[in-house]
């Protein structure tokens, strides 16, 4: 028995993520909020406007209201998910994080007082973190981040962003050659029209986001920024000093280029870098890893790293191993000697790819300039750069 046309219709859903969104819909003459999904909006100053609309079918996630309005909405048929008490983050947030938000208060206090540090402390607290409301908040939060990431990847005016991943070790020191290479790579990729995406942490990740941020800066400014950062080579023993050095670069070069960082509070002892303009920070590292690899549809460059980078290489290789040719995503390993002798990943990748479409998607080069050139060829051809990588359910022959 087939479903009737009326049952097959999709309900209209309008996302309301700000007061500006709400005011615009009211100004257009709306009379009903059916299908409106409000996400973490402070509506305490819009009581009259709310009461002029039919609330039946509206959904409110973590919103704030003037006294009496919430009861009126509920009585009128609205569904209300309240803010969860005792949770140090917004589980219903509608936007990705910014460094300014995560590091709020750094200019006058230590890192340990910032929202990023407080959330990590909460996430590591044991019993408080495992209560039902806490686990629910974490799941809601990571879902909301995924939704916000969808919006970011869609790009301005609906033009899908070409995300180019840069993976590498967190231990690359500011002032060192690996850090400088990663920064040059981020700069080159950004200048080619890619949006750089990293794991959002320190080391090579920070460097690649830095390079993207300074894509429009001249060479002298770029070198000056590297020199400023080199004065505090790593985040140990003081995250505060490390972050303030980055803040000094941001102050000298305001309004830099966009890039994405996808860190996790699972590794909260490694702070997020300040140069990613958009930060999708997750609690669940497994989700974060999968999302990071899947979003980089223009390809991924792998710089020298250790266990985490090797894990990412083979996780990405698994996606390409089962992918059809149109869904392949380039994997570019930088450092011939490193990846064939020190950590001999390359021979195994070649064995995996033998006789499969994957063989044409793996590359081994010796410089970030070669890596950027290969990525530029991919992006310049267009093709499947905007296509999603196959999920486990789409893979054949499992």
Q: Which of 12-21, 220-229, 372-381 has the highest mean pLDDT?
A: 220-229
Q: Of 60, 81, 102, at which residue does a domain stop?
A: 81
pLDDT in the model for residue 8: 38
What DSSP character marks residue 11?
A: P
Residue 231 lies in a domain: yes
**Are both 67 and 165 inside the same structural domain?**
no
pLDDT in the model for residue 9: 45
How far is the first Cα of the chain from the last one, in angstroms, to the nearest whole number?
Answer: 32
pLDDT in the model for residue 3: 43
CATH of the domain at 182: 3.40.50.450
Residue 211 lies in a domain: yes
Q: Is the pLDDT of residue 388 over 70?
A: no
Q: Of 27, 60, 81, at which residue does a domain stop?
A: 81
CA 338 → CA 166, 293, 330, 335, distances in Å? 17, 22, 19, 5
**Are both 176 and 321 inside the same structural domain?**
yes
Confidence of residue 376 (pLDDT cuts 50, 70, 90): confident
Residue 243 lies in a domain: yes
**Are both 221 and 364 inside the same structural domain?**
yes
Confidence of residue 11 (pLDDT cuts 50, 70, 90): low
**Are both 168 and 283 inside the same structural domain?**
yes
**Are both 217 and 362 inside the same structural domain?**
yes
Residue that the structure tokens 């809601």 belong to: 140
Residue 112 lies in a domain: no
Residue 210 lies in a domain: yes
% of the chain beyond a pLDDT of 70: 91
Residue 130 lies in a domain: no
Q: How many CB atoms lie within 10 A of CB 345?
A: 19
Separation of alpha carbons 9 and 182, rounded Å = 49
**Are both 382 and 245 inside the same structural domain?**
yes
- Mean pLDDT score, 111-120: 97
**Are both 74 and 178 inside the same structural domain?**
no
Q: Is the pLDDT of residue 88 over 90?
A: yes
Q: Is the pLDDT of residue 1 over 50?
A: no
Residue 37 region, left (φ>0) first, then alpha (ψ -120 to 50), else beta? beta
- Mean pLDDT score, 367-377: 94
**Are both 68 and 186 inside the same structural domain?**
no
**Are both 204 and 316 inside the same structural domain?**
yes
Q: How many CA atoms lie within 13 A of 6 on its CB side?
A: 0
pLDDT in the model for residue 380: 65
Q: 207: helix, coil or strand?
A: helix
**Are both 51 and 181 inside the same structural domain?**
no
% of the chain beyond a pLDDT of 90: 82
Separation of alpha carbons 264 and 185, rounded Å = 23
Residue 71 lies in a domain: yes
Stated pTM of the model: 0.89
Instruction: Check: CB of residue 256 under 8 Å from CB of residue 275.
Output: yes
- Mean pLDDT score, 139-145: 95
To 5 degrees, how large is the angle CA 118–CA 119–CA 124?
A: 100
Strands (E), 24-135: 36-39, 59-61, 79-81
What range defines the domain where residue 289 resides?
A: 161-394
Query: Can you spell out the DSSP letters for 129-162?
Result: HHSHHHHHHHHHHHHHHHHHHHHHHH-GGG----
Residue 389 lies in a domain: yes
Least confident segment among 120-124, 152-156, 209-213, 272-276:
152-156
**Are both 165 and 280 inside the same structural domain?**
yes
Buried b (16+ CB within 10 A) or exposed e, 268-285: bebbbbbbbbbbbbbbbe
**Are both 185 and 286 inside the same structural domain?**
yes
Q: Is the pLDDT of residue 132 over 90?
A: no
In the structure encoding, which two tokens stand for residue 158, read together? 């609906």
What is the sign of the dihedral through the CA atoms of 147, 149, 152 and 157? negative
Contacts of 164 (CB under 8 A, 6+ apart): 189, 194, 195, 196, 197, 296, 298, 299, 300, 301, 375, 379
- Mean pLDDT score, 163-189: 96
Q: Tens digits of per-residue pLDDT, 316-360? A: 999 999 988 888 999 999 999 999 999 999 999 999 999 999 999
Q: Of 81, 110, 136, at which residue does a domain stop?
A: 81
Q: How many domains does the chain have?
A: 2
């Amino acid at each position: 028995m087939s479903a009737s046309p009326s049952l097959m219709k999709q309900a209209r859903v309008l996302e309301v993520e700000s007061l500006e969104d709400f005011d615009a819909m009211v100004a257009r003459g709306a009379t009903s909020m059916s299908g409106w999904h409000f996400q973490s909006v402070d509506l305490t100053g819009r009581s009259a406007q709310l009461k002029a609309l039919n609330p039946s079918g509206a959904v409110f996630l973590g919103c704030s209201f003037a006294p009496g309005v919430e009861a009126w909405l509920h009585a009128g048929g609205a569904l209300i998910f309240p803010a969860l008490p005792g949770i140090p983050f917004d589980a219903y947030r509608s936007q990705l994080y910014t460094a300014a938000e995560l590091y709020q208060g750094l200019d006058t206090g230590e890192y340990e007082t910032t929202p990023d540090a407080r959330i990590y402390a909460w996430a590591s607290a044991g019993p408080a973190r495992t209560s039902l409301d806490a686990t629910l908040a974490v799941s809601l939060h990571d879902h909301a981040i995924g939704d916000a990431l969808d919006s970011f990847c869609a790009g301005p005016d609906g033009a899908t962003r070409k995300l180019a991943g840069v993976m590498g070790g967190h231990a690359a020191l500011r002032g060192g050659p690996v850090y400088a290479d990663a920064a040059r790579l981020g700069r080159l990729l950004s200048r080619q029209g890619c949006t750089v995406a990293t794991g959002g942490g320190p080391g090579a990740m920070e460097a690649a986001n830095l390079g993207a941020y300074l894509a429009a800066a001249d060479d002298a400014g770029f070198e000056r920024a590297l020199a400023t950062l080199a004065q505090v080579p790593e985040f140990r023993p003081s995250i505060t000093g490390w972050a303030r050095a980055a803040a000094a670069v941001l102050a000298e070069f305001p309004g830099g280029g966009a890039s994405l960082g996808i860190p996790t509070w699972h590794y909260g002892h490694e702070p997020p870098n300040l140069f990613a303009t958009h930060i999708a920070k997750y609690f669940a590292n497994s989700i974060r890893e999968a999302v990071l690899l899947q979003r980089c549809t223009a390809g991924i460059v792998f710089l020298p790293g250790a266990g985490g980078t090797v894990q990412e290489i083979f996780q990405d290789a698994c996606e390409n191993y089962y992918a059809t040719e149109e869904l392949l995503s380039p994997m570019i390993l930088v450092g011939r000697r490193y990846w064939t002798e020190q950590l001999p990943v390359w021979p195994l990748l070649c064995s995996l790819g033998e006789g499969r479409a994957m063989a044409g998607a793996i590359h081994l080069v010796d410089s970030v300039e070669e890596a950027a050139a290969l990525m530029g060829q991919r992006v310049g051809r267009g093709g499947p750069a905007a296509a999603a990588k196959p999920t486990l359910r789409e893979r054949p022959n499992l």
